[in-house]
Amino acid sequence: MNDPSRKLIILSSHVPVGATEPAGLASALEPALRDLPGIWLGWSGQVRISPTELAIDPTLQPPRACFDLLADSRDQLAFAFCNRTLWPLFHGLRTRLRFDDAEWDAYVRANDTYARHALQLADLDATIWVHDYQLLLVGASLRRLGHRGPIGHFLHIPFPVRELFQTLPWGRELLEAVLDFDLIGFHTEQWADKLRRTSHKPGRIRHNQRTTRIGVFPRSVEPASDLDVDLGLDAMPDHDLGERIGDRHFMIAVDPLDQTKGIPERLAAFRCLLERYPEWRRRVVLLQIVVPAHPEHDDRELRQDLERRIGQLNNSLGEADWMPVCYLDRNCDRVSLARLYRAADVAIVTPLRDGMNLVAKEFVAAQHASDPGVLVLSRFAGAAEQMAAAILTNPYHPEGFAQDLHRALGMPQEERRHRHHALAKVLRANGTPASWSDDFLSALRHPPGDDPVTVA
Protein backbone atom coordinates (compact mmCIF):
# COMPACT_ATOMS: atom_id res chain seq x y z
CA MET A 1 0.00 0.00 0.00
CA ASN A 2 2.96 2.31 0.59
CA ASP A 3 3.60 3.96 -2.77
CA PRO A 4 6.89 5.91 -3.13
CA SER A 5 5.43 7.80 -6.09
CA ARG A 6 2.99 9.57 -3.77
CA LYS A 7 4.62 12.86 -2.89
CA LEU A 8 1.69 14.48 -1.07
CA ILE A 9 -0.76 13.20 1.55
CA ILE A 10 -3.65 15.48 2.53
CA LEU A 11 -5.52 14.69 5.76
CA SER A 12 -8.93 15.97 6.80
CA SER A 13 -11.37 14.58 9.33
CA HIS A 14 -13.75 13.31 6.62
CA VAL A 15 -13.48 12.67 2.91
CA PRO A 16 -16.50 12.54 0.61
CA VAL A 17 -17.00 8.96 -0.56
CA GLY A 18 -17.88 8.48 -4.22
CA ALA A 19 -17.92 10.93 -7.10
CA THR A 20 -20.42 13.34 -5.53
CA GLU A 21 -18.85 15.96 -3.32
CA PRO A 22 -19.71 19.44 -2.13
CA ALA A 23 -17.91 22.43 -3.55
CA GLY A 24 -15.19 23.62 -1.24
CA LEU A 25 -11.96 22.01 -0.18
CA ALA A 26 -11.95 19.50 -3.04
CA SER A 27 -11.72 22.28 -5.62
CA ALA A 28 -8.40 23.34 -4.09
CA LEU A 29 -7.03 19.86 -3.42
CA GLU A 30 -7.62 18.34 -6.85
CA PRO A 31 -5.02 20.48 -8.72
CA ALA A 32 -2.55 20.16 -5.84
CA LEU A 33 -2.78 16.38 -5.89
CA ARG A 34 -2.58 16.34 -9.67
CA ASP A 35 0.58 18.45 -9.85
CA LEU A 36 2.23 16.76 -6.87
CA PRO A 37 1.02 13.13 -7.08
CA GLY A 38 -0.66 12.05 -3.89
CA ILE A 39 -3.92 11.18 -2.17
CA TRP A 40 -6.58 12.65 0.15
CA LEU A 41 -7.05 10.69 3.38
CA GLY A 42 -9.81 10.81 5.97
CA TRP A 43 -12.61 9.04 7.77
CA SER A 44 -15.21 7.26 5.61
CA GLY A 45 -18.08 8.10 7.96
CA GLN A 46 -18.48 4.42 8.83
CA VAL A 47 -17.94 2.66 12.17
CA ARG A 48 -16.66 -0.87 12.83
CA ILE A 49 -16.19 -2.92 15.96
CA SER A 50 -12.85 -4.19 14.65
CA PRO A 51 -10.07 -2.55 12.58
CA THR A 52 -10.29 -2.59 8.78
CA GLU A 53 -7.83 -1.90 5.98
CA LEU A 54 -7.61 1.40 4.14
CA ALA A 55 -9.89 1.64 1.13
CA ILE A 56 -8.25 3.44 -1.80
CA ASP A 57 -10.04 4.79 -4.88
CA PRO A 58 -7.52 6.21 -7.39
CA THR A 59 -10.23 6.80 -10.02
CA LEU A 60 -11.74 9.80 -8.19
CA GLN A 61 -10.44 13.34 -8.57
CA PRO A 62 -8.77 13.96 -6.25
CA PRO A 63 -7.77 10.35 -5.44
CA ARG A 64 -8.95 9.30 -2.00
CA ALA A 65 -8.20 6.86 0.78
CA CYS A 66 -10.58 6.32 3.66
CA PHE A 67 -10.90 4.20 6.76
CA ASP A 68 -13.54 3.29 9.33
CA LEU A 69 -13.24 4.37 12.95
CA LEU A 70 -13.62 1.99 15.85
CA ALA A 71 -16.93 2.19 17.66
CA ASP A 72 -15.35 2.97 21.02
CA SER A 73 -13.68 6.21 19.82
CA ARG A 74 -15.85 7.50 17.00
CA ASP A 75 -18.60 9.17 19.03
CA GLN A 76 -16.12 10.83 21.32
CA LEU A 77 -14.06 12.19 18.42
CA ALA A 78 -16.99 13.43 16.37
CA PHE A 79 -19.35 14.63 19.08
CA ALA A 80 -17.33 15.24 22.17
CA PHE A 81 -13.90 16.81 22.28
CA CYS A 82 -14.10 18.44 18.85
CA ASN A 83 -17.67 19.70 19.19
CA ARG A 84 -17.94 20.31 22.91
CA THR A 85 -14.43 21.57 23.64
CA LEU A 86 -12.39 22.73 20.65
CA TRP A 87 -15.19 24.30 18.60
CA PRO A 88 -16.59 26.50 21.42
CA LEU A 89 -13.07 27.21 22.75
CA PHE A 90 -11.76 28.44 19.40
CA HIS A 91 -14.92 30.47 18.74
CA GLY A 92 -14.92 32.14 22.14
CA LEU A 93 -18.11 30.46 23.44
CA ARG A 94 -17.04 30.22 27.08
CA THR A 95 -20.41 29.11 28.44
CA ARG A 96 -20.55 26.08 26.12
CA LEU A 97 -17.13 24.66 27.05
CA ARG A 98 -16.88 21.13 28.41
CA PHE A 99 -13.70 19.48 29.71
CA ASP A 100 -13.63 15.69 30.03
CA ASP A 101 -10.52 13.51 30.42
CA ALA A 102 -12.00 10.54 28.54
CA GLU A 103 -12.90 12.75 25.58
CA TRP A 104 -9.37 14.16 25.44
CA ASP A 105 -7.94 10.64 25.53
CA ALA A 106 -10.22 9.65 22.64
CA TYR A 107 -9.06 12.71 20.66
CA VAL A 108 -5.42 11.67 21.20
CA ARG A 109 -6.14 8.10 20.04
CA ALA A 110 -8.03 9.26 16.97
CA ASN A 111 -5.19 11.59 15.90
CA ASP A 112 -2.75 8.69 16.26
CA THR A 113 -5.02 6.61 14.00
CA TYR A 114 -4.93 9.25 11.25
CA ALA A 115 -1.13 9.48 11.51
CA ARG A 116 -0.64 5.72 11.26
CA HIS A 117 -2.85 5.50 8.20
CA ALA A 118 -1.01 8.38 6.55
CA LEU A 119 2.29 6.55 6.94
CA GLN A 120 0.78 3.51 5.24
CA LEU A 121 0.38 5.50 2.05
CA ALA A 122 3.77 7.04 1.29
CA ASP A 123 7.43 7.20 2.23
CA LEU A 124 8.68 8.95 5.35
CA ASP A 125 9.89 11.89 3.23
CA ALA A 126 6.50 12.71 1.64
CA THR A 127 4.84 16.07 2.20
CA ILE A 128 1.80 15.91 4.50
CA TRP A 129 -0.84 18.65 4.70
CA VAL A 130 -3.31 18.39 7.60
CA HIS A 131 -6.59 20.31 7.84
CA ASP A 132 -8.50 21.80 10.73
CA TYR A 133 -9.12 21.48 14.45
CA GLN A 134 -10.04 17.78 14.46
CA LEU A 135 -6.39 16.88 13.70
CA LEU A 136 -4.24 19.27 15.72
CA LEU A 137 -2.19 16.42 17.20
CA VAL A 138 -1.37 14.61 13.96
CA GLY A 139 1.93 16.41 13.41
CA ALA A 140 3.25 15.28 16.80
CA SER A 141 2.03 11.73 16.14
CA LEU A 142 3.77 11.65 12.76
CA ARG A 143 7.04 12.84 14.30
CA ARG A 144 6.88 10.13 16.96
CA LEU A 145 6.32 7.56 14.23
CA GLY A 146 9.42 8.69 12.38
CA HIS A 147 8.12 10.89 9.57
CA ARG A 148 10.89 13.07 8.14
CA GLY A 149 9.14 15.08 5.45
CA PRO A 150 7.50 18.50 5.79
CA ILE A 151 4.18 18.59 7.66
CA GLY A 152 1.82 21.54 7.38
CA HIS A 153 -1.46 22.36 9.05
CA PHE A 154 -4.22 24.75 8.00
CA LEU A 155 -6.67 25.87 10.66
CA HIS A 156 -9.91 26.94 8.99
CA ILE A 157 -11.49 28.34 12.17
CA PRO A 158 -10.39 31.16 14.52
CA PHE A 159 -7.73 30.77 17.19
CA PRO A 160 -8.73 31.86 20.72
CA VAL A 161 -7.17 34.56 22.84
CA ARG A 162 -4.42 33.32 25.14
CA GLU A 163 -6.44 33.73 28.35
CA LEU A 164 -9.22 31.52 27.01
CA PHE A 165 -6.82 28.96 25.56
CA GLN A 166 -5.22 28.64 28.99
CA THR A 167 -8.49 27.36 30.44
CA LEU A 168 -7.98 24.14 28.45
CA PRO A 169 -6.59 21.56 30.90
CA TRP A 170 -4.51 20.03 28.08
CA GLY A 171 -3.51 23.37 26.61
CA ARG A 172 0.24 22.84 26.99
CA GLU A 173 0.14 19.43 25.31
CA LEU A 174 -2.03 20.78 22.50
CA LEU A 175 0.17 23.82 21.89
CA GLU A 176 3.36 21.74 21.84
CA ALA A 177 1.75 19.35 19.35
CA VAL A 178 0.69 22.26 17.12
CA LEU A 179 4.27 23.50 17.12
CA ASP A 180 5.42 20.13 15.74
CA PHE A 181 4.08 21.23 12.35
CA ASP A 182 6.56 22.95 10.05
CA LEU A 183 3.99 25.47 8.82
CA ILE A 184 0.68 26.50 10.39
CA GLY A 185 -1.67 28.43 8.11
CA PHE A 186 -4.56 30.76 8.90
CA HIS A 187 -7.02 32.75 6.81
CA THR A 188 -6.25 36.05 8.52
CA GLU A 189 -3.54 37.86 10.39
CA GLN A 190 -5.68 38.26 13.52
CA TRP A 191 -5.97 34.48 14.03
CA ALA A 192 -2.27 33.95 13.29
CA ASP A 193 -1.37 36.65 15.80
CA LYS A 194 -3.41 34.95 18.51
CA LEU A 195 -1.33 31.78 18.11
CA ARG A 196 1.86 33.84 18.25
CA ARG A 197 0.68 35.51 21.45
CA THR A 198 -0.36 32.19 22.97
CA SER A 199 3.06 30.68 22.22
CA HIS A 200 4.74 33.92 23.40
CA LYS A 201 6.89 33.82 20.24
CA PRO A 202 6.85 36.06 17.14
CA GLY A 203 8.17 34.98 13.75
CA ARG A 204 9.57 31.50 13.30
CA ILE A 205 9.66 29.26 16.38
CA ARG A 206 12.37 26.77 17.21
CA HIS A 207 10.71 23.75 18.83
CA ASN A 208 12.05 20.22 19.38
CA GLN A 209 15.02 20.87 17.07
CA ARG A 210 12.64 21.96 14.29
CA THR A 211 11.48 25.31 12.97
CA THR A 212 7.77 26.16 13.04
CA ARG A 213 6.41 28.99 10.89
CA ILE A 214 3.03 30.70 11.12
CA GLY A 215 1.59 32.04 7.86
CA VAL A 216 -1.51 33.77 6.50
CA PHE A 217 -3.17 32.34 3.39
CA PRO A 218 -6.66 33.81 2.76
CA ARG A 219 -8.93 31.21 1.20
CA SER A 220 -10.36 32.13 -2.20
CA VAL A 221 -13.40 31.11 -4.26
CA GLU A 222 -14.01 30.20 -7.88
CA PRO A 223 -15.25 33.09 -10.03
CA ALA A 224 -18.98 32.85 -10.66
CA SER A 225 -18.23 33.71 -14.31
CA ASP A 226 -16.95 30.13 -14.62
CA LEU A 227 -20.58 28.99 -14.38
CA ASP A 228 -22.02 28.72 -17.86
CA VAL A 229 -25.55 29.56 -16.70
CA ASP A 230 -28.00 32.43 -16.81
CA LEU A 231 -27.98 33.65 -13.23
CA GLY A 232 -31.41 34.91 -12.32
CA LEU A 233 -34.64 34.47 -10.40
CA ASP A 234 -36.15 32.52 -13.29
CA ALA A 235 -34.34 29.35 -12.18
CA MET A 236 -34.82 29.25 -8.40
CA PRO A 237 -34.17 26.00 -6.49
CA ASP A 238 -37.67 26.34 -5.00
CA HIS A 239 -40.40 26.57 -7.66
CA ASP A 240 -42.58 29.14 -5.89
CA LEU A 241 -39.76 31.16 -4.38
CA GLY A 242 -39.61 33.62 -7.25
CA GLU A 243 -43.35 34.19 -6.96
CA ARG A 244 -43.11 34.73 -3.21
CA ILE A 245 -40.38 37.34 -3.68
CA GLY A 246 -41.87 38.96 -6.79
CA ASP A 247 -40.64 42.51 -7.25
CA ARG A 248 -39.80 42.94 -3.57
CA HIS A 249 -36.31 43.59 -2.27
CA PHE A 250 -34.61 40.26 -1.70
CA MET A 251 -32.13 39.60 1.13
CA ILE A 252 -30.30 36.29 1.46
CA ALA A 253 -28.43 34.50 4.25
CA VAL A 254 -26.83 31.05 3.91
CA ASP A 255 -25.45 29.26 6.96
CA PRO A 256 -24.79 25.81 8.37
CA LEU A 257 -26.85 24.98 11.44
CA ASP A 258 -24.46 26.22 14.11
CA GLN A 259 -24.54 28.48 17.15
CA THR A 260 -21.60 30.55 15.90
CA LYS A 261 -23.36 31.73 12.72
CA GLY A 262 -25.53 34.27 14.53
CA ILE A 263 -28.87 33.30 12.96
CA PRO A 264 -31.03 34.20 16.02
CA GLU A 265 -29.25 37.56 16.24
CA ARG A 266 -29.92 38.13 12.53
CA LEU A 267 -33.62 37.41 12.93
CA ALA A 268 -33.79 39.83 15.86
CA ALA A 269 -32.18 42.54 13.72
CA PHE A 270 -34.54 41.83 10.82
CA ARG A 271 -37.53 42.17 13.13
CA CYS A 272 -36.07 45.43 14.41
CA LEU A 273 -35.69 46.64 10.81
CA LEU A 274 -39.37 46.06 10.07
CA GLU A 275 -40.47 47.66 13.35
CA ARG A 276 -38.21 50.73 13.22
CA TYR A 277 -38.45 51.27 9.47
CA PRO A 278 -42.03 50.29 8.62
CA GLU A 279 -41.60 51.52 5.04
CA TRP A 280 -39.89 48.17 4.32
CA ARG A 281 -42.93 46.12 5.32
CA ARG A 282 -44.35 44.23 2.33
CA ARG A 283 -41.33 45.45 0.33
CA VAL A 284 -38.63 43.06 1.50
CA VAL A 285 -38.20 39.30 1.97
CA LEU A 286 -35.37 37.58 3.85
CA LEU A 287 -34.47 34.15 2.47
CA GLN A 288 -32.71 32.22 5.24
CA ILE A 289 -31.11 29.02 3.97
CA VAL A 290 -29.86 26.67 6.66
CA VAL A 291 -27.58 23.96 5.30
CA PRO A 292 -28.45 20.74 7.15
CA ALA A 293 -25.78 19.21 9.33
CA HIS A 294 -24.96 15.52 9.23
CA PRO A 295 -27.70 13.78 11.26
CA GLU A 296 -25.19 12.94 13.99
CA HIS A 297 -24.19 16.61 14.32
CA ASP A 298 -27.67 18.07 14.13
CA ASP A 299 -28.35 20.74 16.78
CA ARG A 300 -32.04 20.02 17.33
CA GLU A 301 -32.38 22.64 20.04
CA LEU A 302 -31.06 25.37 17.73
CA ARG A 303 -33.21 24.17 14.85
CA GLN A 304 -36.36 24.29 17.00
CA ASP A 305 -35.41 27.75 18.27
CA LEU A 306 -34.98 29.08 14.71
CA GLU A 307 -38.27 27.60 13.56
CA ARG A 308 -40.03 29.13 16.57
CA ARG A 309 -38.46 32.57 15.98
CA ILE A 310 -39.30 32.57 12.28
CA GLY A 311 -42.86 31.44 12.97
CA GLN A 312 -43.36 34.19 15.53
CA LEU A 313 -41.89 36.85 13.24
CA ASN A 314 -44.03 35.83 10.27
CA ASN A 315 -47.16 35.54 12.40
CA SER A 316 -46.74 38.91 14.09
CA LEU A 317 -45.57 41.00 11.12
CA GLY A 318 -46.58 39.04 8.02
CA GLU A 319 -49.77 39.36 5.99
CA ALA A 320 -51.83 37.00 3.86
CA ASP A 321 -49.79 37.74 0.72
CA TRP A 322 -46.42 38.51 2.36
CA MET A 323 -44.26 36.51 4.73
CA PRO A 324 -41.15 38.47 5.82
CA VAL A 325 -38.94 35.37 6.21
CA CYS A 326 -38.70 32.47 3.79
CA TYR A 327 -36.91 29.53 5.44
CA LEU A 328 -35.25 26.73 3.48
CA ASP A 329 -33.68 23.82 5.33
CA ARG A 330 -31.79 22.13 2.52
CA ASN A 331 -28.57 21.88 0.54
CA CYS A 332 -28.32 23.96 -2.60
CA ASP A 333 -25.88 23.19 -5.40
CA ARG A 334 -23.36 25.79 -6.51
CA VAL A 335 -25.33 26.86 -9.58
CA SER A 336 -28.54 27.39 -7.58
CA LEU A 337 -26.70 29.40 -4.94
CA ALA A 338 -25.00 31.54 -7.59
CA ARG A 339 -28.42 32.34 -9.08
CA LEU A 340 -29.75 33.30 -5.67
CA TYR A 341 -26.73 35.46 -4.92
CA ARG A 342 -27.02 37.22 -8.28
CA ALA A 343 -30.71 37.92 -7.70
CA ALA A 344 -30.30 39.19 -4.12
CA ASP A 345 -30.25 42.88 -3.30
CA VAL A 346 -28.46 42.22 0.00
CA ALA A 347 -26.47 39.32 1.46
CA ILE A 348 -26.35 39.11 5.25
CA VAL A 349 -23.21 37.26 6.41
CA THR A 350 -23.09 37.84 10.14
CA PRO A 351 -21.39 35.09 12.16
CA LEU A 352 -20.55 35.79 15.77
CA ARG A 353 -17.04 34.60 14.93
CA ASP A 354 -15.63 32.85 11.88
CA GLY A 355 -12.28 31.79 10.49
CA MET A 356 -13.07 33.31 7.08
CA ASN A 357 -16.62 32.69 5.75
CA LEU A 358 -16.59 32.02 2.04
CA VAL A 359 -20.29 32.90 1.58
CA ALA A 360 -19.27 36.57 1.64
CA LYS A 361 -16.80 36.01 -1.18
CA GLU A 362 -19.15 33.80 -3.17
CA PHE A 363 -21.84 36.49 -3.04
CA VAL A 364 -19.45 39.13 -4.35
CA ALA A 365 -18.21 36.81 -7.09
CA ALA A 366 -21.76 36.20 -8.31
CA GLN A 367 -22.69 39.89 -8.67
CA HIS A 368 -23.05 41.76 -11.93
CA ALA A 369 -20.73 44.76 -11.82
CA SER A 370 -23.25 47.14 -13.40
CA ASP A 371 -25.95 46.56 -10.77
CA PRO A 372 -24.45 44.69 -7.78
CA GLY A 373 -26.03 43.78 -4.49
CA VAL A 374 -24.76 44.90 -1.09
CA LEU A 375 -22.81 42.75 1.36
CA VAL A 376 -23.61 43.22 5.06
CA LEU A 377 -20.77 41.46 6.88
CA SER A 378 -20.09 40.81 10.54
CA ARG A 379 -17.00 42.61 11.74
CA PHE A 380 -16.19 39.39 13.63
CA ALA A 381 -15.91 37.26 10.48
CA GLY A 382 -12.39 36.60 9.27
CA ALA A 383 -13.44 37.90 5.85
CA ALA A 384 -13.94 41.38 7.35
CA GLU A 385 -10.15 41.74 7.56
CA GLN A 386 -10.03 41.83 3.75
CA MET A 387 -13.51 43.02 2.81
CA ALA A 388 -13.67 46.44 4.44
CA ALA A 389 -15.76 47.78 1.54
CA ALA A 390 -18.74 45.76 2.78
CA ILE A 391 -21.08 47.27 5.35
CA LEU A 392 -19.45 45.95 8.51
CA THR A 393 -21.96 45.38 11.28
CA ASN A 394 -22.10 44.23 14.89
CA PRO A 395 -24.45 41.21 15.10
CA TYR A 396 -24.72 41.59 18.88
CA HIS A 397 -26.43 45.01 18.56
CA PRO A 398 -29.89 44.57 16.97
CA GLU A 399 -30.67 48.30 16.60
CA GLY A 400 -27.35 49.07 14.93
CA PHE A 401 -27.62 45.91 12.84
CA ALA A 402 -31.11 46.97 11.70
CA GLN A 403 -29.81 50.41 10.78
CA ASP A 404 -27.12 48.78 8.64
CA LEU A 405 -29.75 46.66 6.87
CA HIS A 406 -31.81 49.80 6.21
CA ARG A 407 -28.73 51.47 4.77
CA ALA A 408 -27.99 48.48 2.54
CA LEU A 409 -31.55 48.27 1.19
CA GLY A 410 -31.58 51.95 0.31
CA MET A 411 -28.05 52.25 -1.05
CA PRO A 412 -27.85 54.12 -4.38
CA GLN A 413 -26.45 52.31 -7.39
CA GLU A 414 -23.30 54.43 -7.64
CA GLU A 415 -22.26 53.54 -4.10
CA ARG A 416 -23.09 49.87 -4.69
CA ARG A 417 -20.87 49.84 -7.77
CA HIS A 418 -18.03 51.54 -5.92
CA ARG A 419 -18.15 49.06 -3.04
CA HIS A 420 -18.45 46.07 -5.36
CA HIS A 421 -15.44 47.23 -7.38
CA ALA A 422 -13.32 47.32 -4.20
CA LEU A 423 -14.57 43.90 -3.07
CA ALA A 424 -14.05 42.31 -6.49
CA LYS A 425 -10.49 43.64 -6.45
CA VAL A 426 -9.90 41.73 -3.21
CA LEU A 427 -11.17 38.53 -4.82
CA ARG A 428 -8.88 38.95 -7.81
CA ALA A 429 -5.92 39.49 -5.49
CA ASN A 430 -6.80 36.28 -3.63
CA GLY A 431 -6.56 34.21 -6.82
CA THR A 432 -8.35 30.87 -7.00
CA PRO A 433 -8.71 27.85 -4.70
CA ALA A 434 -5.97 26.19 -6.74
CA SER A 435 -3.58 29.11 -6.23
CA TRP A 436 -4.41 29.10 -2.50
CA SER A 437 -3.27 25.50 -2.14
CA ASP A 438 -0.26 26.16 -4.38
CA ASP A 439 0.81 29.07 -2.17
CA PHE A 440 0.55 27.02 1.02
CA LEU A 441 2.38 23.98 -0.36
CA SER A 442 5.11 26.13 -1.88
CA ALA A 443 5.67 27.81 1.48
CA LEU A 444 5.68 24.42 3.21
CA ARG A 445 8.16 22.78 0.85
CA HIS A 446 10.42 25.80 0.28
CA PRO A 447 10.70 27.80 3.52
CA PRO A 448 12.44 31.19 3.43
CA GLY A 449 15.69 31.48 5.31
CA ASP A 450 15.57 35.03 6.62
CA ASP A 451 12.65 35.09 9.08
CA PRO A 452 13.46 35.79 12.73
CA VAL A 453 13.67 32.62 14.81
CA THR A 454 12.65 32.31 18.45
CA VAL A 455 12.95 29.27 20.68
CA ALA A 456 9.87 27.69 22.28
* Residues annotated as catalytic (active site), given as ranges: 156, 354
Distance CA 321, CA 282 (A): 9
Give the 3-state DSSP-derived string for the chain, with helices as H, strands as E and coil as C.
Answer: CCCCCCCEEEEEEECCCCCCCCCCHHHHHHHHHHHCCEEEEEEEEEEECCCCCCEEECCCCCCEEEEEEEHHHHHHHHHHHHHHHHHHHHCCCHHHCCCCHHHHHHHHHHHHHHHHHHHHHCCCCCEEEEECHHHCCHHHHHHHCCCCCCEEEECCCCCCCHHHHCCCCCHHHHHHHHCCCCEEEECCHHHHHHHHHHHCCCCEEEECCEEEEEEECCCCCCCHHHCCCCCCHHHCCCCCHHHHHCCCEEEEEEEECCHHHCHHHHHHHHHHHHHHCHHHCCCEEEEEEEECCCHHHCCHHHHHHHHHHHHHHHHHHCECCECCEEEEECCCCHHHHHHHHHHCCEEEECCCCECCCHHHHHHHHHCCCCCCCEEEEECCEHHHHCCCCCEEECCCCHHHHHHHHHHHHCCCHHHHHHHHHHHHHHHHHHCCHHHHHHHHHHHHHCCCCCCCEEEC
Distance CA 374, CA 368 (A): 11
